[in-house]
Every structure is written in C-alpha cells, then in structure tokens.
Structure 1
C-alpha cells in the first residue's frame, strides 16, 4: 500500500507541475507584416514611395554659408550670411497627368542676428496648371551673378501667390500667369495690385529663345525681355535685352526710390573649364534712367568649383560704374 500510494502521489504531483508549466508558457506573437520603402524612379533620382500610397516623395535642400563684401557708401564692408533650405516634392500619376505639390522653406541668419524662417514656395501643379505661392518667370536669371548684384533684372517681387498655365510642346512652350503684387513700394495706390505675365519659348538646335512680358495693373506699366541661350564652344552663351515702360514691380531697382531704367542689356558666357570648374564673365548695361536720364553699367566675373559630390563653392566680384563700387561674395554650399 505504501508503494502504491507513493506512485499515485508522484504521478499527481507531476501532473500538477506539468499543468502549471503549460499554463505559464509564453507563445511568441507572429511578426506584423512590414512594408519597406520602395524607390520611385518615375520622376528622377531621390524619389521614394510613401508607404501605403502611390505617391512619390523627394526631400532635399541645401546648407549655405556666405562671406560678402561691398565698398558701397552707407553699407558695411563685410557681412556674413547663412541659409538653410528644405523642400518636399510629392508627385503621382493621375488620369490628368502628373499631380505635384511642392513646399520649400528657408531660414536666413545674417551676422550675429538670429535666423528668420519663411515660406519660399508652396504650390499645386497638375496638367500644366499651377496654383499657389511660387517664383515667377523673371526669377530665371542669367548665368553668373553680375546681372542681379547691383541693378536686378526683373522686380523685387519674384515670389507671389499666383495661378498660371504652361503648355509644353517640346520644341515650343507658352504660358500665362496672373499673380498678386506688393502695394507697399513706389506710388502705387489702391488694392488692384495684380500682375499679368506671358511667356513663349522656342528651341532650335543648340539654342533656346524666350520672351517674357509682364504688366503691373496698379502702376499701369510693363516690362518685356527677350533672351537667347546657346551652347557655344566649351560652355553656354546667354544674352538678353529688357524694356521697361516705367517703374513697376517688374522693373529693375537701384539705390533710388521709385526708379527704373528704360532699357537694359545683359551678356554672359559660362565656360566649363573642367568638369568641376566653371568661370562666367558677364556685362550688364542700363540706359535712360527715368529720373536722372543717366546710363549705368556693371561688369563682373563668377567662378564655381565642385569640391566633391554635393559640396560646391561659388565666388563673384563685380564693379558698378555709377556707384564706383566693388562688391562680391564667397560661398560654400552643401546640397542634399
């Protein structure tokens, strides 16, 4: 009896222990399926699919630091600038064509002052129609930095809320835009500060020819530009002529207020000295100032060097005749 009782008790104890262990057993959960980021090569380098969607996204921008010099009276000889720019470019194919949304933000810091953040661009684009806050066609300047250093080509308002349409026919393109303009400069009055822009472009062989025309409804003045860009030798030749009917948001400005030159001409040649090094001499002539009647000219040179992938330097020096002034900058920029 004692042996039988011992065997029965041992069996019962083993059953209890086994049951307890079975109750405490941990069962590993099955891993959740994960969707890895996929490369999207439909719109160029750098795009990837947003997980769970058919939208392709690219994130990029640059970090720039710049040392500037000017001996223009009334300004500091030396100054510094740092800029951070980030953009988000989202695209997808639809039955109407590519649907695109673009956002760009910048932060500028000058000298010891803190940075100032601002929205640089934010627009929606589909089937050639673009709506939002955007750069206008005047922002497509000439090669180098000479044309924009003293007297700008095109007015101060290159970022505006606008609606525009662009037809791309390959060798031929044409577009029209309507945009809001600032009412805080010059003698503008009222709230009807609307700008109307038109552009046509032709490509033939190694050359491209375009014409931009703009009209400021508040100032009731217009500006028109004709430009040619041609591949020539080891680089690109760019030349253009601009007519301003009077001062407006599209005319060039100098140190005087509410002024413009009736005519302006620019020529620049961007030479590819090596695969990494470019040099761009340029000349701009402005004549028939609407206040003084004087002429003005600027000559300069810009040099760029690609240090390595996504890291470049740019330097420019320019001389302006009417101010008897020299100015320029040295820039280091890291793109991503």
Structure 2
C-alpha cells in the first residue's frame, strides 16, 4: 500500500462516517433578471412601458394659483368666484392626470383619469377633490366623462363661446389627420343650470340628453371647426364656427355663434361674433388682444353665471332672450417664465345696454408637469 492509496481510502472512510452526500452541497441561487423601465415613444413624449406589460403610461398635471377680479358698480363684486362683496377672489387648483395607452388589433386603446382639486377661502372655505375626466377610448370610439368640442375656443380670454362643455358622453370621431368629423350623445344632467319660466315663476332643473356633432379641417397654418349642439329637453340648439390662420407674427382667430334659444351648449345670447390676434412677440411672450359682440343677451336668473362677465349662463327659453346687446374687449398676456412655469394675465372691459360697465379678468401662475 502506497501513500496515494492510503489517502483515497481515508477520504472514502470519512465520507461514509459523516454521511455526506452530493445532494447536500450548497448552491448559490441565480439572481432574478432585472427589467428596466423602457421609454415608449409610440404615443409621444413622456410615456414609458409599465414593467412586464406592453401598456404605456404617462403622468401629468399642473398646480395653479389664480386671482380673479371683477370691478362692478360702486366698486363691489359682480359675479366673482367667491360670491361675496369683494371685488377679487384667489383660489388654488391642483390637477393630476394618468394616461394609459396600448396598441391592439382594433387600434390604440386608451384609458384616462384626471383628478382635480380646488381650494378657496383658506382652511375653512370651499375645498373639493373630484374626478374631472375619466374615459375609455378605442379607435374613434370614446365613452366616459370628457370635454366636448364646445370646450375648444380661441386662445385669448376675451371671448365667451360656450356655456357647458363637460359631459358624460358616447362619441365617435373619424380622424383623417387634416380632416375630422364626429357625433356625440351627451348627458345634460347636473350642469348647475336651470330653466326659468318667467310667465309663472316655475323652475325646472336640467335632466336630459343632448346631441352634438362637428367637422374640422387643417390646411397649412389655417384651421376650421364647425360644431352644433341640440338640447332635447329645451328643444333648442346652437351652432358655432371657429377659424384660425397664421398671419404675420401671430395667429388671427374669428368665431361666430347662433342659438335658437337658451340651451345647455350656449345660453349666453342669441348670437355672438368674436375676433382676436395672438401676437408671438418672443419665444416666451404672447400678447392677444380680442373682442366679442353679444346680440340679444340672456336675462340674469338664479343660476351659475359666467365668471368675469355680467352675462348669465342659465338655460333659457327662446323668448327669454332680451333685446339688449353687449360687447367685451380686452387683452391677454401669456409669459413662459421657465420650463414648466408660466404666467397669464387677462383684463377685459364689459358693456351691456342699460347696465353698468364692468372691468374683469384674472392673474394666474401655473406649474405644469
């Protein structure tokens, strides 16, 4: 027996005594593979893939501080947001948005949620947090709570081109890029408007259905939009045309509205025309003078008025439009302070027949992300 045989035999004997087995060996666990967040550029900037899925996600929103002012007769307020006797009112708004999109065999599937909270009058005042928008969109079909085409308007703050713009709706839009056409069924409920029959003093709250439709086109630096809305309960409707064109150092905007009678879409006046010119003074500064003429304005009644004007947005019957005219002219200044931070100042002068003149507007600071 040599030394080599002795060592092998000793090792075998030791293994047999200790009962060691190959299965008892310690094996280090394989590390789990890491999945990094991937950028999703299929739907624009800011989207990223939710890990483990093919769904793209984007967060957005803004924080706004704004002070409204409305210098009415005798130096008192006439329609400020706080409804008191002050001629100015400050409030803070926070908006947070979640946007999800996925490519499917039926087209892009989108889900959107927008939360909004408004705080007013300090800790003891009005403060609300609610779902501002929430909708599902697949191809051209869109269902949920979202802004109607009536929310589109001119870029300045001297025009009043709609009464209500946010509904629970079912909408279909055909979009060919330079041309679009669509139709929407809207629930006209809880719009904070009322029908007042001045002949007997009865009040009827809104609870009905509306039909809205529109077409639009873009050709180079020009755009055209024509929309209409019909309030089935009031049996009244409204039509609106907006046109914009890049001319010189800015953009010219023109608009016209006609209403057969007071309705949920437009109850400000029987007809109106508006114009503005948004001057791009610098990359950061835009100055927009504008004006609007109101023909046969609606009489004021017990409902929410349009902030900044003496015109009331209540739903009215066709014979409730007055024979008074009104006009408003003013200027809006937009300034981009830095990336994501902007300021807006609007000042308007409002004049209605047989009524006292008013000066209204607001100062706004907004951080968008």
TM-score under structure 2 normalisation? 0.78
Q: CA deviation at 1:268?
A: 1.0
Deviations 1:149-177 (A, max 9, x none): xxx3212x311110001111222211000
Corresponding position of 1:275: 283
Corresponding position of 1:198: 213
Matched, 1:232 2:241: no
Deviations 1:242-290 (A, max 9, x none): 00111111113xxxxxxx4111011011110000000010101001234
Which stretch shifts more, 270-279 or 181-190? 181-190
Q: Given that residues 182 and 249 in structure 1 are in contact (C-alpha distance below 8 angstroms), is that contact kept between their aligned partners in structure 2?
A: no
Q: CA deviation at 1:78?
A: 1.8
> Which residue, out of 97, 116, 119, partners 1:87?
97
Please list every run of 5 or more consecutive structure 1 residues that lacks an aligned counterpart in the other structure: 1-14, 20-24, 253-259
Q: CA deviation at 1:329?
A: 1.2
Aligned-partner Cα distance in 2 for 1:28–1:71: 77
Q: CA deviation at 1:321?
A: 0.6
Matched, 1:330 2:363: yes
Q: Given that residues 68 and 329 in structure 1 are in contact (C-alpha distance below 8 angstroms), is that contact kept between their aligned partners in structure 2?
A: yes
> Which residue, out of 189, 194, 212, partners 1:182?
189
Q: How many residues align?
A: 307
Matched, 1:52 2:47: no
Q: CA deviation at 1:32?
A: 2.1
Q: CA deviation at 1:31?
A: 2.7
Q: 1:189 to 1:78 in 2, by over 3 A?
A: closer
Corresponding position of 1:170: 177
- What are the equivalent positions in structure 2 for 1:2-21 lying under 5 Å apart? none
Q: 1:311 to 1:220 in 2, by over 3 A?
A: same
Aligned-partner Cα distance in 1 for 2:54–2:256: 45
Q: Given that residues 174 and 181 in structure 2 are in contact (C-alpha distance below 8 angstroms), is that contact kept between their aligned partners in structure 1?
A: yes
Corresponding position of 1:307: 337
- Runs ≥4 residues deviating over 6 A: none
Q: Given that residues 96 and 127 in structure 1 are in contact (C-alpha distance below 8 angstroms), is that contact kept between their aligned partners in structure 2?
A: yes
Q: Given that residues 192 and 217 in structure 1 are in contact (C-alpha distance below 8 angstroms), is that contact kept between their aligned partners in structure 2?
A: no
- What are the equivalent positions in structure 2 for 1:226-265 lying under 5 Å apart? 226-252=241-267, 260-265=268-273
Q: 1:213 to 1:291 in 2, by over 3 A?
A: closer
- What are the equivalent positions in structure 2 for 1:46-195 lying under 5 Å apart? 46-72=46-72, 73-74=76-77, 75-112=85-122, 113-147=125-159, 152-155=160-163, 157-182=164-189, 185-187=194-196, 193-195=208-210
Corresponding position of 1:207: 222
Aligned-partner Cα distance in 1 for 2:177–2:142: 19
Q: CA deviation at 1:205?
A: 3.2
> Which residue, out of 296, 303, 322, partners 1:288?
296
Aligned-partner Cα distance in 1 for 2:68–2:349: 14
Matched, 1:321 2:351: yes
Which stretch shifts more, 138-147 or 47-56? 138-147
Q: Given that residues 189 and 218 in structure 1 are in contact (C-alpha distance below 8 angstroms), is that contact kept between their aligned partners in structure 2?
A: no
Q: CA deviation at 1:36?
A: 1.3
Which stretch shifts more, 137-146 or 107-116? 107-116
RMSD over aligned Cα atoms: 2.4
> Which residue, out of 301, 305, 328, partners 1:298?
328
TM-score under structure 1 normalisation? 0.85
